[in-house]
Amino acid sequence: MSQKKISSTEENYLKAVYSLSEKISENSYVSTNSIADEMQTKAASVTDMVKRLAEKTMLTYVPYKGVRLSGLGKKIATDLIRKHRLWEVFLVEKLGFTWAEVHPIAEQLEHIKSDELVHRLDAFLEYPEYDPHGDPIPDKEGKFRAKPEILLSDLKISEAGIIVGVKMHSPQFLEYLDSKKLVLGTKVEITEIIEFDQSMIVKLENESSFNVSSKICKNLYIQMA
Amino acid sequence: MSQKKISSTEENYLKAVYSLSEKISENSYVSTNSIADEMQTKAASVTDMVKRLAEKTMLTYVPYKGVRLSGLGKKIATDLIRKHRLWEVFLVEKLGFTWAEVHPIAEQLEHIKSDELVHRLDAFLEYPEYDPHGDPIPDKEGKFRAKPEILLSDLKISEAGIIVGVKMHSPQFLEYLDSKKLVLGTKVEITEIIEFDQSMIVKLENESSFNVSSKICKNLYIQMA
DNA sequence: AAAAATATTTAGACTAGTCTAAATATTAAT
DNA sequence: ATTAATATTTAGACTAGTCTAAATATTTTT
C-alpha cells in the first residue's frame, strides 16, 4: 500500500511543494523558483527533480508554469508532516527537548520508513492532536484538524485569549517566547495598543504586564477566551 | 567533536568492517570480499569505498590485503552500534515491538545525527546495559560491557542456566524462540543430550520438557545458575 | 507592440555510489 | 616452480542529485 521507492530528497521536494501550495490559491501552480528558494537550491536542480517526480506521478509539471501535487504526492507530503509532528511531540514530551530544539531532529526522523512505527508512536503519545508549536497533526488519511487562525495582533483592547500556536518557528523566536513566558497555554489580555508601531501591552495571568512588538503579535496564534 | 560529514552509506561500511574485525584475529586485515558479502554489494564497489574511507582516515587500506579500522573508524562504528541498540530497547520497551521486528527499523534510526538525542534517549530508557537480544550496549566512549559467552550447547547434563542472549538474529529464529517460550530470562535445565544429533532435552521452570535442536543450542547464550 | 527585465529550461559538467567486464595479483595445487 | 584457481583492482559506464552558464520563454514596462 505505502509508496514503492522514494528517496528522502524526493520526499523533501514534495514537502516543500505542499507547504508552498498552502500559501497560494487553490488551483494555481507552484513555481520553480519558489521551490528553489524553499529548498535552498538552484532553479535548474528543481526543474530536473520535478521532471522525475512528474514521471512518478507524484505531481503534474507544466513547463514555464510550475507544478501541482497529485493525490499521491499530497499523501506522501502529509504523511511526512504527520511523522514530523509526532516525532516533535515525542522529543518534547518524552525526552524533554524544548520546542526550539526539535525541528532539525524531527527533520531527520520523519524519513524513517515504517507504518507500524508511526502507528505505535502515535499510540504511545496517546494520539496527540497538536505538535509542540500548536500545529495540527494530520491523521493517517492526511486530514487536518482545524488550525489556529486568530493572531494576537487581531485582538482589540481588553480582549483576552490563550496562546495556542506560533506562526514563525525560528529557534531564536521560540527561545525569546520562553524567556517572556509566552508559551502555549498562557492566557494573555490586551491592555493597550500602541498605534505608531502596532505593538501591544499584554497582561499575563500573574498580573505582570509588558510590551510585545508587532512582529511577535503577528506570529502568535490565539484561542479567544 | 563529533564527525565532520559522513554519509549513511559510509557509516554502514564502517559498521560492517567493525563487525567483521570482531570475527578475526586482532591484527589481521578485513578482506574486500568479506565486506562485499556483508554489505550485499560487489567487491569493486568496496574497493572504491575503502579508498574514500582511507582518504578520510577512518581506516587503513593496503591493496590486495584488506583494511583495518582506525581509532576514528572504530569510534564511528561503536557509536552506531550504541544508537542501534538503544533504539531497539526503545522499540521493544516503549512501543511494544517484538525482538524479531526491531532490527530493520533500528537500522534506519541509528543514522539519525544528534548526540543530544542519544544522550536523552539513553536517560529515558534508564541507561540500559543490554539490548532486547542480550547484546551489550557500548558506552559513549565505545567501551563494551562483558558479553555473554557460554552457549546452551556448552552445558552438560543436569546443568542449568538462564537465557541471556541470542547469537543469531534472524526474525524466523526469534519468532520460533518466542513460540517455545525460550526468551531472555527463561531458566533452562539440561535433562538429556542426544548424542547422534547433539540435540538436547531441556526442562523449563514450568516443568515442561522438550527437545531443542543443536542449531538452536548453539545460538542461545546462557548465564549459568 | 517592442524593449527590457525576469523566470525558467537546457546543456554540459561534477560527485557519490553503484555495476560489469577485463586485467592483474595472490594463493593453492600439482 | 609452474600452472590453475581465486581474490582484488582497474576501466568505463550508469543513476541520482547537484551546479554554472547559456539559451529561451514569459511578463512587465514603456
Kindly report the number of other CB atoms within 10 A of residue B18's CB atom: 20
CB–CB of A207/A136 below 8 Å? Answer: no
Residue B3: what pLDDT? 53
**Ranges under pLDDT 50 in chain B:** 1-2
CA dihedral A52, A57, A62, A66 (to 10 degrees): -80
Nearest to B117 among A105, A120, A124 (CB): A105
Strand partners, A136: A130
The per-residue pLDDT of chain A, averaged, comes to 96
CB–CB of A217/A199 below 8 Å? Answer: yes
Q: Where do the DSSP E strands lie in A125-186?
A: 160-166
Residue numbers in A near B120 (CB within 8 A):
95-97
Residue A26: what pLDDT? 82
Which domains are assigned to chain B? 8-69 (1.10.10.10), 82-146 (1.10.10.10), 152-224 (2.30.30.90)
Residue B143 identity: K
Q: Which residues touch strand D (CB under 7 A)?
A: A 7, 9-10, 41-42, 44-45, 48-49, 52, 64; B 31-34, 43-44, 46-48, 50-51, 61, 63-66
Residue B207: what pLDDT? 86
Using alpha carbons, select from A11, A8, A13, A56 the residue that is nearest to residue A35. A13
In angstroms, the CA A75 to CA A36 distance is 22
Q: What is the CA radius of gyration of chain B?
A: 20
Interface of B with A in 13-52 (CB under 8 A): none
Q: Write the ipTM.
A: 0.93
Element (H, E) at B16: helix B8-22
Whether B125 contacts chain A with CB within 8 A: no
The alpha carbon of residue A11 and the mean position of all alpha carbons in its chain are separated, in whole angstroms, by 16
Whether A144 contacts chain B with CB within 8 A: no
Kindly report the number of other CB atoms within 10 A of residue A107's CB atom: 17
Q: How far off is chain A from B133, nearest CA to CA, in Å?
A: 19
Those residues with Cβ within 8 angstroms of residue B185's Cβ, 6 or more apart along the chain or in another chain:
B162, B163, B164
Residue B170 identity: S
Cell digits for B15? 559498521
Residue A122: what pLDDT? 98
Which has the higher per-residue pLDDT, B68 or A225?
Answer: B68
Q: Which residue is nearest to nucleotide C21 (CA to C1')?
A: B44
Give chain D positions with protein CB within 7 A: 7-12, 16-22, 25-26
| DSSP code string of A69-121 | E-HHHHHHHHHHHHHHHHHHHIIIIIT---TTTHHHHHHHHTT---HHHHHHH
Residue A3: what pLDDT? 53
Whether A101 contacts chain B with CB within 8 A: yes
Q: Flag whether pLDDT at A9 surpasses 80.
A: yes
- End-to-end CA separation in angstroms for chain B: 43
Digit-coded pLDDT (tens) for A124-143 = 999 999 999 999 999 999 99
Strand partners, B162: B187, B223
Residue B206: what pLDDT? 87
Nearest to A120 among B95, B114, B120 (CB): B95
Angle A45-B111-A116 (CA atoms, 0-180°, nearest 5)? 95
Phi (first) and psi of residue B32, to 5 degrees: -55, -45
pLDDT band for position A225 (50/70/90)? confident
Digit-coded pLDDT (tens) for A54-94 = 999 999 999 999 999 999 999 999 999 999 999 999 999 99
CB–CB of A67/A60 below 8 Å? Answer: yes
CA of A64 to C1' of C11 (A): 18
Name residue, grid cell 587503513: B60
Residue A200: what pLDDT? 97
Question: What distances in angstroms separate CA A89 from CA A208, A213, B54, B180, one per listed residue?
Answer: 30, 28, 40, 38
Q: How far off is chain B from A55, nearest CA to CA, in Å?
A: 27
In angstroms, the CA A76 to CA A12 distance is 10
CB–CB of A26/A65 below 8 Å? Answer: no
A41 nearest nucleotide via C1' and CA? D18
Q: How far off is chain B from A74, nearest CA to CA, in Å?
A: 24
User: What letter does residue A37 receive in the DSSP assignment?
Assistant: H
Q: Flag whether pLDDT at A2 surpasses 80.
A: no
Tell me the helices (H) and strands (E) count for chain A, helix number first.
8, 7
Angle A15-A20-A21 (CA atoms, 0-180°, nearest 5)? 95
Q: How far off is chain A from B105, nearest CA to CA, in Å?
A: 7
Residue A208: what pLDDT? 93
pLDDT band for position A1 (50/70/90)? very low
Cell digits for A134? 500548536
Whether B124 contacts chain A with CB within 8 A: yes
CB–CB of A106/A84 below 8 Å? Answer: yes
Digit-coded pLDDT (tens) for B155-202 = 999 999 999 999 999 999 999 999 999 999 999 999 999 999 999 999
- B45, burial (CB in 10 Å: exposed 0-12, middle 13-18, buried 19+): middle
CB–CB of B7/A9 below 8 Å? Answer: no
